[in-house]
Structure 1
C-alpha cells in the first residue's frame, strides 16, 4: 500500500463482506486493503455494485465486515460492539449521502443543530453553514432551498461536529453539474481548511480529478490506485 509518509488516519486489512439471501451469497467485498492518510482527499470510482458503498459504510462504522479489520489512528475498531461503533461514529465520522435527509419542518440552522447538540466539541451551526456558503440562508426551510443548497446544509450538518473523517456517498448524484461543482467546492474547502480526511464515492470519472488519490473498484476489489499529479479545482470540471 502506497503512502506518502503522512500519518495514517484509517486503514483496513483483508475486508470481506458477504450478504446471504437464502441460499445465495453475494460477495460485496473480496479482501480489500486500504489506507487513508490524515488530511487526504480520496475518490472511490467504479460502477454500481462494485463495493464502494459497502466499503465506506464499514469504514464509517455503519456496517460490519464478514472478515478483516479496520483501524482508526492506531486503534482497532471493535466491530462486535454496537456501543463502540456508536461512539466512533458520533465522535469521529461525518456522513454525506446522495439524498439530503433534512427534516422539512426545521430550518437550515435547526437541522445542523441536531448534530451540534450531541457532539463533544462542535462548531456553531451558523459557522458550519457559513463554511459551505450558506451564511445568508440559515433561517430557510428545506423547501425554500435548491437541491444544491440542501446538500450543502447536509454537509454543514456532517462537519459541525468537527469529524476527523468525512465520508461522502455520491454527494453530487442528484445534482446537475453546475450545482454539483458548488457542492464539491464545499467538500474541498473543508478538506483543505479543516484538514478533514475525506473519501468521496462517485461513478463519474471526471470528479476523480479533484482528489489526491483515486481508488478504482470492480467486483468487490480495488483494481487500480492512481495518485493525481495535480488536483483540479471543481470549477474546471465539466460533466
Structure 2
C-alpha cells in the first residue's frame, strides 16, 4: 500500500517514513502543496496524508485539487485543532482528520480503516458495456469474446474511465493521471486516443454510445 505524505516538516516526514515502512507501507513524500498534487498524479498512491499549513498551496487547496479528478482517501494530519479547520477540510473532501501530536497506533488504525473503505468502494473489478468486457484486475479487454489489444496509454485512459463509470471525468483529470502536470493544457492527445478507443470498442465509432465527449468539460463512460 502506497502512502503519499504531504508535509513541510522534514523531521516528521522522516519519522513517518520509517514507521510506516516498518509496517509494510511504501511512502512517497512532498514538501509543499503543489508538489503533492504533481506526485499524486505521478505515483497513484492508495492514501494521501497531508498537513493543512503548507507552502505554495495549503492543504485545503490540495484537497480541492485532488477531488477534481480522484476519489483517493485523504487523511488530514494537522496541528490545527479548531472545529472550523476540521469542518473546512472535511467539507473540501477529506475523509478523516487527525490532530498533531498523535499516537502512531491511532494513525495506523485510521489508515487501515481508510484502506478498507477504499477497497469496499472499488466494487467489481469487471466493467461491461455493449459487447465489451474490461477486467481491471487482469488489465485486459475483450470484445465479443475476442481479446482487444490496447496501447499502454489507451489502457490507462479506459481504466480511469472504467473506475468512474457514468461520472464526468474532466480533461485535466485524465491529463494529470496519464501525463502528469506537464501537458495539462494539451487536449489534442486525448482526442486522438479517444478516437482510437472508439474504433476498437464502439459498435459505431462515428456515433459513440459509450465513450462520450462532454463538450468543453471532458469524457464519460456510459455502461447502458
The answer to whether TM tops 0.5 is no
TM-score, normalisation: structure 2: 0.34
Larger Rg: 2
Between 1 and 2, higher relative CO (CA 8 Å, sep ≥ 6) is seen in 1
TM-score, normalisation: structure 1: 0.32
If each structure's strand is expressed as a fraction of its own residues, which one has the higher value? 1
